[in-house]
Amino acid sequence: MEIKAIRTEGDYLAALQEVSALIDLDPSPDGPEGERLEVLGTLVQAYEARHHPIDLPDPVEAIKFRMEQSGMTVKDLVPYIGSLNRVYEVLSYKRSLSLNMIRRLSEGLHIPAEVLIRKPEAVEA
């Protein structure tokens, strides 16, 4: 099993192509193709983490996404954020999330606190 490091975008694309072909084979994890897939997958993940990092989402967009996923309305956020007026202020970037709001949203809606503590992108612009 000869596998080389992924150092360039060309190496990365070739590795992705091979990973895709191996996935189509649906190999046994214990077989040679399964082991090759596991090793290549690890190398691809490492390259992507270094060269194609995915930034955390905007906190307000994360809240809106969770609302959409869960079929929630703005009124459903009142227990987490406060009054309906305050919810609208947060969702329109007119009010920042407080520490207590972040805690309640994180615990109740299972949005990672590290996402909620970020500065909203609409405010940065």
At position 85, the amino acid (one-letter code) is N
For residues 47 and 12, the answer to whether their CB atoms sit within 8 Å is: yes
Q: Which CATH architecture has domain 59-124?
A: Orthogonal Bundle (1.10)
Domain ranges (residues) in the chain: 9-51, 59-124
Q: For residue range 6-46, what is the model confidence (pLDDT) as tens digits?
A: 999 999 999 999 999 999 999 999 999 999 999 999 999 99
Please tell me the pTM assigned to this model.
0.62
3-class DSSP state of 103? helix
Whether 65 contacts 57, CB under 8 Å: yes
Comparing C-alpha atoms, which of 117, 124, 77, 76 is closest to residue 99? 117
